[in-house]
């Protein structure tokens, strides 16, 4: 064996070093899978180094006592590392297939590592029995009669690994599986070769090559771990959920979604947000670590964390109440955490949902199913409801609504407090679906925005409302303008002003008859296109108002920098007008807005008392069920003819 060429080992060494360097440069050492992979590479590297040392010294026989001692040490290092590398390949099969949790059971661990320890002891005691190998001063390295045990061990473990790969085939995906098979097959092949032809030192080279292939094809480190938080990346969550479906394994999932993530990140910087997420993730790990070993946390860049627990029916609300209070009683960074508006849900995957698409969609959109003050929801409470069914089918519902003309514009009269009559109205879209009946725009408008279907709806609204304000009797009905809701995408589309200009010429309407409503979140977006749309349309004579003032995260400063004429105070704030604090806030808001030249609409006024208070506070216009609900065009016109008698 001694005369064997070391050239293969030198290649193996160079390749392993390149892989280590590449892992370091790509920062591919975070997360269990990456760490196991690094272990595989390093163990292979050490094995090669030990083999090179022993070969190098053995090349010059006869040996001295010192060189003999060094060769012994190097060979022990070599054999033990070699056994470890076989184990590390199997570990890789476990971690790459996401089944590492199976190793966490003590029984499996003993079964798995026990023989390895026994063999290590056997190798070390070779020092006394010399049955595996011997180093003689004159002949150098001589194999002992029990060497076959060492090689046999590699073969047995290698075969176990190979068989295991077959059982986890569906977890791995084809590329990964083929690459892993390649690793095992090439190593098995070279072990056999090296056993019968000890001079062909190809074992380490073939291992290094297989590892290189795995590194290049399979390990996409940058995508695997989120670089800033160190959590598992979203892509992995998608893979994991697919894997779980194929394996029909039931797990419990806990999702935290930060509703205001986008706005808060713009206002408070990305760094601060990331620091917050990182800190919360650490605390989550602490809480979970006490309960269960098999869990993983994934992050989604739009502002959510998904915790997957490898156990079914894990009840987060009762088993880990600290987890829920981590976000509800959050006082981190002076209320920064609360500003993000965290909402939570728990899901039993493969029971509540049976495929990744439904699961992922729910994980992102569950806040829609929550009641106003709710912060935690179970998917099981929702998935059997009609509402969920509708959400899921919204693309279908919207397209058939457009096809079959199921959309209709309603108008809600707005009362002029000074003139004591209705001077305008808000146009509100309605959808009557053949299967689900009447659907609230609060549901289908956000859904249409997400599914890229808002433009056909927006165009319908524009057509209808322009048609309405183009009526000859518009002013005779006592109307000044109609308020029209613009969605974010419409507002940010560069064609909006052109489209409106075309409508205006085609239908021959006056721009003063239209008031365009934008929401705070729209107004908060510092977009050149949005700004251009506003400026072009203002120049033509259109006016703008700020809708939903007082909801969510206000970036009032940015909103105020836009040329608006009306501010619409949201119902949620108006609801507080009878409380002491609410009254102070609303009264001051009205006064402040008047001072800077805006007029005020109070939305959602339902009672005479609310009306009286708001009138006394100087609110200019009132919109609400107290005066009138939204109604069809025909009803609205009739309503105006019968009810509208302005005091001149």
Footprint of Mg ion (CB under 5 A): 485, 517, 547-548, 603
In the bound complex, what is the minimum distance in angstroms from residue 483's beta carbon to ligand C2E?
8
- How many whole angstroms separate alpha carbon 311 and alpha carbon 295? 9
Token pair recorded at residue 141 = 């390295």
Shortest distance (Å) from residue 265 CB to Mg ion: 25
Q: 407: which strand partners? A: 431
Cα gap 589→573, rounded to integer Å: 11
Rounded Cα–Cα distance for residues 209 and 15 (Å): 7
**Lookup: tokens for 195:** 């056993």
Torsion sign, CA atoms 98, 104, 109, 111: negative
Least distance to Mg ion from the beta carbon of 445, Å? 10
The pair of three-digit structure tokens given for residue 378, joined into one six-digit string = 């179970």
User: What is the spatial distance between Cα 50 and Cα 458, in angstroms, rounded to a whole number?
Assistant: 71
- 630 interface partner picked from Mg ion, ligand C2E, none, CB below 5 to 8 A per type: ligand C2E
Closest CB to Mg ion among 485 and 543?
485
Residue 509 contact partner, candidates Mg ion, ligand C2E, none, CB within 5 to 8 A by sort of partner = none
Residue 326 vs 439, nearer CB to ligand C2E: 439
CB of 21 within 8 A of CB of 219?
Answer: no
**Comparison of 190 and 485: residue with beta carbon closer to ligand C2E:** 485
Using CB under 6 A as the binding rule, whether residue 628 contacts ligand C2E is answered as: no
Among 219, 623, 636, 640, binds ligand C2E (CB under 6 A): 623
Q: Which residue has the tokens 């206002």?
A: 267
Query: 74, 92, 429, 496: which one contacts ligand C2E (CB under 6 A)?
Result: 429
624 binds ligand C2E (CB under 6 A): yes
Q: CA 176, CA 181: separation in Å to the nearest integer?
A: 9
Q: Of 214-273, which residues contact ligand C2E (CB under 6 A)? A: none
51 contact, one of Mg ion, ligand C2E, none, CB 5-8 Å limit per kind: none
Site size for ligand C2E, by CB under 6 A? 22
Q: Pattern of binders to ligand C2E over 462-491, x per CB under 6 A?
A: -----------------------x-x----
Q: How far is the CB of 446 from ligand C2E (least distance, A)?
A: 8
Per-residue burial over 104-123, b if 16 or more Cβ lie within 10 Å, else e, is eeeeeeeebeeebeebbebb
CB 488, min distance to ligand C2E, A: 9
Q: Is 440 in the site for ligand C2E (CB under 6 A)?
A: yes
Q: Does 632 bind ligand C2E (CB under 6 A)?
A: no
Can you say whether the dihedral through the CA atoms of 213, 215, 216, 220 is positive or negative?
A: positive
Smallest distance, ligand C2E to C-beta of residue 553, A: 16
Q: Does 548 bind ligand C2E (CB under 6 A)?
A: yes
Any contact of residue 520 with ligand C2E (CB under 6 A)? no
User: Of these partners, ligand C2E, Mg ion, none, which one is at the site of residue 127 (CB under 5 to 8 Å by kind)?
Assistant: none
Q: Which of 203, 240, 547, 620 binds ligand C2E (CB under 6 A)?
A: 547
Choose among Mg ion, ligand C2E, none what residue 625 binds, the Cβ cut-off being 5 to 8 Å by kind: ligand C2E
Q: What CA dihedral angle connects 243, 247, 249 and 252, to 10 degrees?
A: 10
Nearest Cα residue to 490 out of 550, 433, 429, 437: 429
189's contact among Mg ion, ligand C2E, none, with CB below 5 to 8 A by partner kind, is none
| All residues at 6 or more sequence positions from 384 whose CB lies less than 8 Å from its CB, including other chains | none
Task: List, in order, residues 6 or more apart from 581 with CB less than 8 Å away.
Answer: none
Q: Which does 604 bind (CB under 5 to 8 A by kind): Mg ion, ligand C2E, none?
A: ligand C2E
Residue of the chain from 24, 625, 638, 643 that contacts ligand C2E (CB under 6 A): 625
- Alpha carbon of residue 91 to chain centroid: 28
Give the Cα separation of 481 and 425 in Å (integer).
Answer: 7
Residues 588-617 that bind ligand C2E (CB under 6 A): 603-606
- Is the distance from CB of 627 to CB of 413 less than 8 angstroms? yes
Closest by CA position to 485, among listed 466, 464, 462, 463: 462
CA 176 to chain centre: 24
The closest of 261, 243, 263, 259 to 251, measured between CA atoms, is 243
> If contact means CB under 5 to 8 A according to the sort of partner, which of ligand C2E, Mg ion, none does residue 514 touch?
none
* Chain contacts with ligand C2E (rule: CB under 6 A): 412, 427-429, 440-442, 445, 461, 485, 487, 547-548, 571, 603-606, 623-625, 630
């Amino acid at each position: 064996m001694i005369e064997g060429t070391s050239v293969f080992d030198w290649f193996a060494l160079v390749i392993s070093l390149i892989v280590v360097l590449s892992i370091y440069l790509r920062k591919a050492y975070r997360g269990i899978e990456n760490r196991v992979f690094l272990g595989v590479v390093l163990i292979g590297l050490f094995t090669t180094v030990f083999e090179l040392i022993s070969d190098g010294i053995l090349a010059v026989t006869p040996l001295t006592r010192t060189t003999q001692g060094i060769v012994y040490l190097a060979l022990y290092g070599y054999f033990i590392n070699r056994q470890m590398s076989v184990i590390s390949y199997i570990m890789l099969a476990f971690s790459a297939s996401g089944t590492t949790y199976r190793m966490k059971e003590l029984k499996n661990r003993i079964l798995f590592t026990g023989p390895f320890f026994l063999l290590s002891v056997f190798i070390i005691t070779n020092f006394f029995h010399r049955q595996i190998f011997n180093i003689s001063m004159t002949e150098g390295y001589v194999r002992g009669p029990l060497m076959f045990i060492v090689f046999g061990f590699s073969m047995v473990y290698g075969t176990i690994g190979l068989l295991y790969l077959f059982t986890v085939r569906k977890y791995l995906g084809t590329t990964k599986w083929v690459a892993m098979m390649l690793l095992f097959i090439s190593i098995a092949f070279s072990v056999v070769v090296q056993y019968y032809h000890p001079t062909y030192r190809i074992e380490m080279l073939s291992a290094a090559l297989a590892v290189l292939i795995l590194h290049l094809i399979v390990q996409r480190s940058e995508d695997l771990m989120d670089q800033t938080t160190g959590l598992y990346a979203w892509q992995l969550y998608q893979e994991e959920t697919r894997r779980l479906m194929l394996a029909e394994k039931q797990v419990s999932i806990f999702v935290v979604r930060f509703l205001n993530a986008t706005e808060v990140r713009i206002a408070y910087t990305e760094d601060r947000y990331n620091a917050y997420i990182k800190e919360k993730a650490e605390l989550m790990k602490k809480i979970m670590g006490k309960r269960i070993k098999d869990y993983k946390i994934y992050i989604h860049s739009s502002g959510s964390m998904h915790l997957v627990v490898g156990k079914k029916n894990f009840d987060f609300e009762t088993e880990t109440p600290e987890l829920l209070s981590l976000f509800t009683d959050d006082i981190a960074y002076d209320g920064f955490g609360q500003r993000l508006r965290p909402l939570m849900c728990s899901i039993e995957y493969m029971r509540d949902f049976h495929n990744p698409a439904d699961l992922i969609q729910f994980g992102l959109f569950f806040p829609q199913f929550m009641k106003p003050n709710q912060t935690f929801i179970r998917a099981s409470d929702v998935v059997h409801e009609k509402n969920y069914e509708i959400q899921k089918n919204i693309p279908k519902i919207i397209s058939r609504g457009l096809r079959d003309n199921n959309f209709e514009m309603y108008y809600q009269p707005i009362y002029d407090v000074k003139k004591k009559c209705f001077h305008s109205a808000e146009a509100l879209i309605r959808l009557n679906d053949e299967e689900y009946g009447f659907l609230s725009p609060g549901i289908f408008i956000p859904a249409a925005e997400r599914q890229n279907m808002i433009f056909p709806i927006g165009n319908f609204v524009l057509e209808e409302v322009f048609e309405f304000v183009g009526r000859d009797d518009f002013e005779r009905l006592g109307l000044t303008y109609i308020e029209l809701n613009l969605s974010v995408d419409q507002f940010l589309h560069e064609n909006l002003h052109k489209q409106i200009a075309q409508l205006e010429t085609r239908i021959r309407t006056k721009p003063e008859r239209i008031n365009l409503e934008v929401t705070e979140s729209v107004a908060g977006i510092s977009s050149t296109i949005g700004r251009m749309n506003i400026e072009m349309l203002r120049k033509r004579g259109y006016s703008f108002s700020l809708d939903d003032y007082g909801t969510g995260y206000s970036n009032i400063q940015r909103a105020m920098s836009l040329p608006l004429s009306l501010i619409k105070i949201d119902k949620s704030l108006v609801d507080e007008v009878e409380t002491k604090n609410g009254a102070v806030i609303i009264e001051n808001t009205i006064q402040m807005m008047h001072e800077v030249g805006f007029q005020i609409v109070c939305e959602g006024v339902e009672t005479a008392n609310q009306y009286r208070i708001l009138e006394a506070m100087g609110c200019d216009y009132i919109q609400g069920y107290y005066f009138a609900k939204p109604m069809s065009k025909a009803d609205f016109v009739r309503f105006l003819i019968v009810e509208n008698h302005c005091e001149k």
